[in-house]
Structures are given as structure tokens and as C-alpha cells.
A and B are shown apart, each in its own frame.
Chain A
């Protein structure tokens, strides 16, 4: 009962804020509404006993990505030439594919939807997850290869970002 109440509270927060983010006329308000969505989702992670994931969600998405989104919004003038139909089509295609995947998988195996009242009380019996996650990444015969691959991809992204943002010296100008 209590876990259901907490679930409804934070799932509601996430959904309402997501709707505000979608439909608000001001794009900055939309970005600020994402704060509520991200915090609501973080709390859902917490209720599922994934404490490390919840904290990472707040630290990375709120402290990093949302700040960058706001930073970008404040610096960018609105684009008058935006191709609305194309974007709407692309958005529908992506969300539709995601929803289709979810709906086809929901009834099978581990995804089997449980009645809300029988939600397992995961947050209460949960043990800290930081240690198992660390071990799963670094132990032999575990996700070590995937972890290292991810780090190489991130490094490539970092080098690419620096390359794009680097200061361009004009050598072709006269007298330079």
C-alpha cells in the first residue's frame, strides 16, 4: 500500500512534468519541467532498490545534461526555419518503435506486469548496489570488455568535441 502510494506520487510527478515539458509554449519552461521528470524517475529507481542508479541519474542528468540543455537554450536564438513535419515524423517513428518494443515484450517472462498492489517492497529489502555494479564491471568473465569499449567510445567523443570546439587560427589571412 505504502509503496504503491509512493510509486503513484513520483510516477505522477514524472508524467505531469513530462507533459508540461512537451506542451509548454516556452522552451525554457519545458527544460525546467524536465527537472521534475528526472527527479521522479530517480525516485522510481530508488523504489526499485537501485540506489546507485538513482544517484547517478540525478548527478549526470540533472547536474550535467539538464544544465547543458539550459546553457544551450540560453545561448541559441530560436530557429525560424525549423522543419516541423519532418521532426514530428521522426519523433513519432522513434517513440512508436519504443512503444511497440515495450508492448510486445511486456507480457513475456521477466517483464510480466504485476498488479500494482503486489509490488515487491524492493526499496526496503534492498542492499547497496554500488559494490555489485563495480564488481560486475571489473571482474574477470563479466562486463569488463563492454566497459572498456564504452570508455573508448567516450574518449573518441571527447576528442571529437575538442576538435570541433578548438580555436581556429587563421593562417590564410594576410600578415598572419
Chain B
């Protein structure tokens, strides 16, 4: 069921693929080596899309389960308690597995007066869009499901569909609190998309590309950018370039604030603020459908964190790793570096959540429109000037 939107880009590619061409998806490349020559191209593409989907699903599930455990531990330690300690033994490591089993076994309820179609469609739509954003992420050099030229633009576009899913959930529940949550989500996300997009423009100008693949390769000094790799132990990270600090640091801060609002994280968790709206748009959900919203939240946090990592903190590159010969070791260490950096961003988001109080909805709006948007616009202007003069100086 969730396969449909994730398969949308893959399917388009598949449909447009002439029988002789190269599919350009690591999953299909992998399968091509295993399967006999006679396998038709469309079957290969479908199998490749399925394999890529399974890999993404597994990755997201593991990341989300780890994040849930991490959130509970972080919350615990910030509040001077221990968090889960019993399930599984060592520091309650199996807590998320127990939670997952519990959610799977719970009854799937739909309220009496709810709009059944929208109520059931909403969690699927939300989770599917969150999974679809993984298509454009470069996990390691050459390891990306679809090398979308407009990578970050694609991610922003697809994740904006999540908002529709949340509104659908709020409306379909036929519950006043849920509708309030949905309306807050609509207002908040539509407003913060502007500073989020604008704050991404300085790095896009710097790299001259929307693509996360290009940005990562450029910062790791791979391929066409091999000559830049002398800087900072083989890393040309945007945040480490002193000539760009005037824009790179403030634009990252704006990006991070807007990211918290986009992913509905505290201090911007107005759509589900439990002290006013019970649980906002997912009040009426139980069992597996509830866990879909949960999965989406952690997947979106990770993806947005990775966008930040790819544009400011060098993507999968890390000192010492980039210099390795291309091979399984490089790929493995790159994926490890990529995942750890993404989880570090997620950790900072949790740290912020358990430190700052929730702000009021009118404060959310005025922060977005009166401060972040003008500031981000000014930064785009300054960044354009800097890149222009850097271009002139370089000749």
C-alpha cells in the first residue's frame, strides 16, 4: 500500500527506461550481477525498486526504533532520571522492540463518527512521503537510490505532502482537538517552508547544485572535485570554510530552527501539544496506524538532519575515510559516518526538545514571518554577493 508513492519516481524511471539502457540504481546494479542475462529489463527494474524499498524500510525502522529509545534516554537523563532500564538488560536496549510488538498487537480502532476513508488513508500517506524522501539521500559515494538532480528540492517537495496527510488525519478523526492540531500544522508548516527553503540557498549557491549527491562529493573531494580535498584533512565542508562563515553559520541556525518547526518538534510541537490538544492530529489513532505517525516523525527528523549534514557538515565524508580506496570498506565506513552524523543531528533536536518550553502559536507565526524570513532573505543576498566576488577573484 505504501509502495505507491515511493515507487512513483522509480516507476517513472522504469517506464521511461529503454531495454538497453543503464538503470542507475544500486539495487538494480546489484541484482544485475546475480540474475541471469535473460531477465527482462522491466522485471529487473521492478525487483530493484522492491529491493531498494525493502532496504529503505529496514533502515528507517532501525533508525526510528533507535531514535525512540534514544529519545527516552535523553529525556530521562535531562530530567535527572534514568529512562528505560529493564527491558532486554543493558540500559533497556530492547524497549523499542517491546513497544513495537505492543503497537502491532493493539486493536486497530476507528472512531464511530470518523471519516473512514480519510482516517485510514492519512497514516499511509504520511509514512509513504517520509519514506520517499530517502530516495535522494547519498548514503556513501555512489550509493544513492535515484541521483535526482534537484535532490534537496525533491525532498522539500515530497515532505510538503506530509502536511496534507496530517490535515487528512485531523479532519478524518472528526474530533475538535484533532482538527485544531491539523490547522496548526497547516499554518505552521506552510509558514516555515519559506525560511527553510531560503536558508538552504546559501549552500546551494556555494556548491552550484541542488543535488545532495553533488554537495557530498564536492565536500568529500571525490571525482571532479579531487583537487579541493587538501583542505582540513581531506574535507572541504561548507561550515569549515572561513571565507563563508558570515553566511554559513547563520544560515545553518535558521535552517535548524525551521527544521524543528517543519518536523513538528518541540518547541514547535503545536500540532500535537499534549497539554492543550490531548495529542493533536493523532489523538484518535491506535496500534499500527499510530506507529506510522511515529515512524514518520523520526524518519523526517533523520532526513532533515541529513539534509543539514549534506550541505553544511560534509555528507558522508569524514577525516581518514575519504582517503581510502573505493571498495566495500569505504562504503561501509561512509554509511557509518553518514548515519552517525544524522543521529547526532537527531540528538541535538531531542536535546532542544527537552530543554526549551513550547512557545505559543502566535509566537511561532511571528518568529517565522517577522524574523526568520527577512533574515534568511538578507543572507541569500549576502551569500550571492560573496559567491559573485569569489567567482570574480577566482577568474
The CA-CA distance from A5 to B42 in the complex, in Å, is 12
- The count of residues in chain A whose C-beta lies closer than 8 Å to any C-beta of chain B is 35
Our count of residue pairs bridging A and B at CB distance below 8 angstroms stands at 108
Nearest B residue to A59 via CB reads: B157
Question: Does any Cβ of A come within 8 Å of B199's Cβ?
Answer: no
Question: Does any Cβ of B come within 8 Å of A3's Cβ?
Answer: yes
Question: Does any Cβ of B come within 8 Å of A52's Cβ?
Answer: yes
The CA-CA distance from A141 to B10 in the complex, in Å, is 38
Of A56, A66, A124, A128, the residue contacting B21 (CB under 8 A) is A124
Contact B190 A67 (CB under 8 A): yes
The CA-CA distance from A108 to B171 in the complex, in Å, is 47
Contact A32 B161 (CB under 8 A): no
Question: Does any Cβ of A come within 8 Å of B382's Cβ?
Answer: no
Question: Does any Cβ of A come within 8 Å of B383's Cβ?
Answer: no
Question: Does any Cβ of B come within 8 Å of A16's Cβ?
Answer: no
Chain B, 134-177, CB within 8 A of any chain A CB: 148-150, 153-154, 156-158, 160-161, 163-164, 167-168, 171
Contact A124 B179 (CB under 8 A): no
The CA-CA distance from A52 to B182 in the complex, in Å, is 29
Question: Does any Cβ of B come within 8 Å of A96's Cβ?
Answer: no
Classify the interface of chain B: helix, strand, loop or mixed: helix
Interface residues on B, range: 35 or more
The CA-CA distance from A52 to B21 in the complex, in Å, is 23
Of B17, B161, B163, B168, most A-chain CB atoms within 10 Å: B161
Of A2, A55, A62, the residue contacting B153 (CB under 8 A) is A55
Pick from A68-76, A83-91, A97-105, A143-151 the stretch touching chain B: A68-76
| Chain A residues near B150 (CB-CB < 8 A) | 51-52, 55, 128, 130
With A63-B157, A67-B190, A71-B186 as known contacts, state yes or no: A2 contacts B168, CB within 8 Å.
Answer: no
The 7 sampled A-B contact pairs (Cβ below 8 Å) are A35-B161, A56-B157, A59-B160, A63-B190, A71-B167, A123-B12, A124-B21
6 closest cross-chain pairs (CB), A and B: A63-B160, A6-B15, A128-B149, A123-B16, A58-B157, A59-B157
